Amino acid sequence: MSDLVSEDTKIGADGAVTGTLYRVSGMTAYGEGEQEGHYFPLLLDEKYADKGITVKRDGTVRASKVKDLDWVLYVPDTGVSFTFETEEDGVFLTLTFSGATLA
């Protein structure tokens, strides 16, 4: 997914994403208005492989998947946050992008 983010892009222990997210187009799996912009690829830990995962962007449910560890998040601006949760574990990851650069 190096065409989406710079090599130095990382997630800090507090969930803060740093690095550069590149602007791309042609993301046809996304709805209208989200097919061009900035995206963040994420591979979740294997311990979530058999769990239903719900992702919220700024508190609004954006997606739910069962047994899927690969995610690509649409990041409209650096003020956005994403939470990942399961019924069993509750919120297990919150990502913020205030330290990221959208190029």
State residue 60's pLDDT score: 94
Task: Count up the domains in the chain and report the number.
Answer: 1
Q: What is the pLDDT of residue 33?
A: 83
pLDDT digit string (tens) for 20-67? 999 999 888 777 888 899 999 999 999 998 899 999 999 999 988 877
DSSP for 26-72 reads --TTSPTT-SEEEEEEEE--GGGTTSEEEEEETTEEEEEEES--EEE
- Provide the mean pLDDT of the chain: 93
Cα separation of the two ends of the chain: 16
Residue 3 lies in a domain: no
Both tokens of residue 97?
Answer: 């992008």
Read off the tokens for 79.
Answer: 């003020």
Could you tell me if residue 70 is inside a domain? yes
**Amino acid 32: pLDDT:** 81
pLDDT at 77 over 60: yes
Q: What pLDDT, on the 0 to 100 scale, is given for residue 1?
A: 53
Which one is predicted more confidently, 1 or 23?
A: 23
CATH number at residue 52: 2.60.40
**DSSP code of 15?**
S
Is residue 91 in some structural domain? yes
Which tokens hold the place of 32?
């209208």
Domain region containing 16: 10-102
Q: Which is more confident, 50 or 2?
A: 50
Residue type, position 89, single letter: D
